[in-house]
Amino acid sequence: MIEDKTPQRTSLSQLGEFGLISHLTQNFKINQPSTLTGIGDDAAVLDFKDKKVVISTDLLVEGVHFDLAYMPLKHLGYKAVVVNLSDICAMNAKPTQITVSIAVSNRFPLEALEELYDGIALASKIYDVDVIGGDTTSSQKGLIISITAIGEAKEEELVYRNGANETDLLVVTGDIGAAYMGLQVLEREKQVFQVNPNNQPDLDAYTYLIERQLKPEARKDIKELLEALDLKPTSMIDVSDGLSSEIIHLCKNSSKGCNLYEDKLPLDPQLINACEEFNVDSTTIAINGGEDYELLFTIKMDDYDKIKANPNFTVIGHMTPESDGIHLITRANTKIPLKARGWNALKNE
């Protein structure tokens, strides 16, 4: 839970910029047939032939998006990659390459960056994406990670945010809210640690929640699952800022309304227990907590049979005419307008 416990500390300035880049990237292998040239020239060269190219980018800032007090650097590197790949998956495309740029203050020794890059390398390996470029520089304060993810898809495979129809079903993969509660658990432990550094936390009851926060996964498997089911979503987005915020995006982009059913929300038992312990409403957490990196999509009603009883998917609502608005239907059958209270990087300053 500590940023850097390694006794060895090599100053970054000993290596210089080019030395650092080649040291950190020396073990990156090229696997994707679309990568013609990776790191080492002015730019990487890719060849997607008849496929479409999908590109997304994210900037992660220490103190805004992550706290190194409880986020180990290897996990951070892994998560930084996953967060970006999730956007590619949300287009129903296959992630193929990433570029990784970092800015670090000189409080980070080389060994800390090696940890970070170990996580990046692990994610690249598991998700089979090539690291094809990047930039390494110093920052005035803290660590900043900028990743651009590139993917490929056939034109007919791509799913946008704007294709939902009025009677489509709203489906989410996996379960939601756990990553946010994992963050609450970690924040509490950080405070306990600050009061009593000798306290040994017992986190057994929260292992799933913490894993969802520290080591989330992008749903790269969903594209293949949908193909196997011969099912193409009409619209899709990933759940990064919070379910309500993402639903509103799909509705606005598709000019549709939506009814979301509280009793359908897929919640892990650990989440329910933790919400009771923290005395917070699990529905609030599930619809406003972010960072689940599950996929949210709409399908035609006729396709319902293809996913029913499939443990990967939960139907949580249905689309409506735009004029009906966007609502949460509670367990008590009351209709509440859904608002985006998702995580907002700029309001959190």
Count of residues in the chain: 349
Q: Which is nearer to its own copies, 161 or 318 (CB)?
A: 161
Consult the annotation and say whether 240 binds a ligand.
yes
In the complex, least distance from residue 226 CB atom to its own copies, rounded to whole angstroms: 16
Q: Which is nearer to its own copies, 85 or 275 (CB)?
A: 85
Consult the annotation and say whether 56 binds a ligand.
yes
Q: Which is nearer to its own copies, 155 or 230 (CB)?
A: 155
In the complex, least distance from residue 95 CB atom to its own copies, rounded to whole angstroms: 10
For residue 97, the cross-strand partners are 130, 150
Task: Name residues whose C-beta falls within 8 Å of residue 124's C-beta, 6 or more positions apart in sequence.
Answer: 28, 81, 98, 130, 131
Consult the annotation and say whether 161 binds a ligand.
yes
Residue 90 and residue 133 in contact, taking contact as beta carbons nearer than 8 Å: no
Consult the annotation and say whether 343 binds a ligand.
yes
The two structure tokens encoding residue 129: 């994406």
Consult the annotation and say whether 134 binds a ligand.
yes
Task: Name residues whose C-beta falls within 8 Å of residue 237's C-beta, 6 or more positions apart in sequence.
Answer: 90, 161, 246, 249, 250, 295, 296, 297
In the complex, least distance from residue 163 CB atom to its own copies, rounded to whole angstroms: 11
Consult the annotation and say whether 241 binds a ligand.
yes
Q: Which is nearer to its own copies, 53 or 280 (CB)?
A: 53
In the complex, least distance from residue 168 CB atom to its own copies, rounded to whole angstroms: 17
Consult the annotation and say whether 87 binds a ligand.
yes
Q: Which is nearer to its own copies, 42 or 302 (CB)?
A: 42
Residue 244 and residue 341 in contact, taking contact as beta carbons nearer than 8 Å: yes
In the complex, least distance from residue 136 CB atom to its own copies, rounded to whole angstroms: 7
Q: Which region, left, alpha or beta, applies to residue 16 given φ > 0 means left and ψ of -120 to 50 means alpha?
A: left
Order of strands across the sheet with 169-173? 235-238, 295-299, 169-173, 313-321, 256-261, 326-329, 335-337
> Residues forming the annotated binding site for Mg(2+)?
42, 56-58, 87, 135, 238, 241
> Residues forming the annotated binding site for ATP?
117, 134-135, 161, 240
> Residues forming the annotated binding site for substrate?
65, 291, 343
> Residues forming the annotated binding site?
42, 56-58, 65, 87, 117, 134-135, 161, 238, 240-241, 291, 343
